[in-house]
Amino acid sequence: MTTIDQAIRQATRQLQPASESAALDARLLLAHVLGVSTTALYRDARKVLTPALLEQFDTCIERRAAGEPIAYITGHCGFWTLDLMVNADVLIPRPDTETVVQAALNVLPDTALTLADLGTGSGAIALALASERPQWTVTATDISAPALACARANARRLQLDRIRFVPGRWFDPLEQQRFHAIVANPPYVALGDSHLDAPELRHEPQRALVAGNNGLAELAYIIRHATDHLEPGGSLLLEHGYDQAGAVAGQLARAGFRDIDTHTDLAGRARVTLGRRG
């Protein structure tokens, strides 16, 4: 017989070669299997696990030991104030991307406006903004049909049904529409970047991570075409790599944007650069 405490200690040892947070990972995964909070694991530490539950837990630990992200194993990820469903068709939303949400809330007026989220993935940015600004009309695009299915499912689950999800690459499905603001978290990791060797990143969709031209190709494309889809004075907000702010700001300036500014993430790294259409 194996108790909760024994299962956690054994799983922690198994995960230590693969994870820097082995004990936390073990607790999160067992809480997921049991459908309880991690706090409950302390309270019920001596409770004996059934063979079926232990088998489910062992499977989760094996997947984690192979480098699969916890969010894909549990099917959930926290972002902003939301609990999002995620799967291998979408990037796992990062805390860094919350900088896009905060920047948009800071710089855009708290009045009715139209906003487009390009490459929405799980819908994280669009859903977070819609939850904070119910008066905004949000359109979200993605080239991946499975990713859009995930985003739509999140919208239904969170009862944020005002968002319009449309399939297509960047601006393609928007035709001649114009918006007061456009936000995007496009691929910006350079081909061959050493970070791509991390076991967890190998499980995420590479098309949503990697871009040519040292990671700047998709950012440059969005900047070049954004003015065709922005109202006069409209804002473009872009997430980028920590060392790409200068290049993005330069491209915005050459495209005629003004009031260019960069916002830092929680670690103090340049993460979001924005500009207003001239």
Using a 10 angstrom Cβ sphere, with 0-12 exposed, 13-18 middle and 19 or more buried, the burial of residue 57 is buried
Contact by Cβ (8 Å): 87, 110: no
For domain 4-66, give the CATH number.
1.10.8.10
- According to the model, what pLDDT value does residue 76 have? 95
Residue 202 CA, chain-centre distance (Å), reads 16
Across the chain, mean pLDDT equals: 96
114 pLDDT above the threshold of 90: yes
Categorize the per-residue pLDDT at 197 as very low, low, confident or very high, splitting at 50, 70 and 90.
confident
DSSP letters spanning the chain: --BHHHHHHHHHHHHTTT-TTHHHHHHHHHHHHHTS-HHHHHHTTTPBPPHHHHHHHHHHHHHHHTT--HHHHHTEEEETTEEEE--TTSPPPPGGGHHHHHHHHHHS-SSS-EEEEES-TTTHHHHHHHHH-TTSEEEEEES-HHHHHHHHHHHHHHT-TT-EEEESSTTGGGTT--EEEEEE----EETT-GGGGSTTGGGS-GGGTEEHHHHTHHHHHHHHHHGGGEEEEEEEEEE--TT-HHHHHHHHHHTTEEEEEEEE-TTS-EEEEEEEE-
pLDDT digits (tens, 9 = 90+) for 146-170: 999 999 999 999 999 889 999 999 9
- According to the model, what pLDDT value does residue 24 have? 96
Categorize the per-residue pLDDT at 15 as very low, low, confident or very high, splitting at 50, 70 and 90.
very high
pTM for this entry: 0.94
- According to the model, what pLDDT value does residue 45 have? 94
181 pLDDT above the threshold of 90: yes
263 pLDDT above the threshold of 90: yes
Q: What is the mean pLDDT of residues 199-213?
A: 89
53 pLDDT above the threshold of 90: yes
- According to the model, what pLDDT value does residue 194 have? 81
Closest CA relative to residue 126, chosen from 100, 107, 157: 100
pLDDT digits (tens, 9 = 90+) for 213-231: 999 999 999 999 999 999 9
Contact by Cβ (8 Å): 183, 115: yes
200 pLDDT above the threshold of 90: no
**Count of C-beta atoms within a 10 Å radius of residue 120:** 30
For domain 77-277, give the CATH number.
3.40.50.150
**Which tokens in the block code for residue 22?**
């082995």
Q: What is the mean pLDDT of residues 3-18?
A: 96
278 pLDDT above the threshold of 90: no
- According to the model, what pLDDT value does residue 192 have? 84
54 pLDDT above the threshold of 90: yes
Using a 10 angstrom Cβ sphere, with 0-12 exposed, 13-18 middle and 19 or more buried, the burial of residue 140 is buried
Please compute, for residue 247, the number of CA atoms within 13 A of its CA located in the half-sphere on the CB side. 16
CA distance 221 to 171: 10
Domain ranges in the chain are 4-66, 77-277
- According to the model, what pLDDT value does residue 93 have? 97
65 pLDDT above the threshold of 90: yes
221: β partners: none
Name the pairing type of β-strands 137-142 and 164-167.
parallel
Categorize the per-residue pLDDT at 195 as very low, low, confident or very high, splitting at 50, 70 and 90.
confident
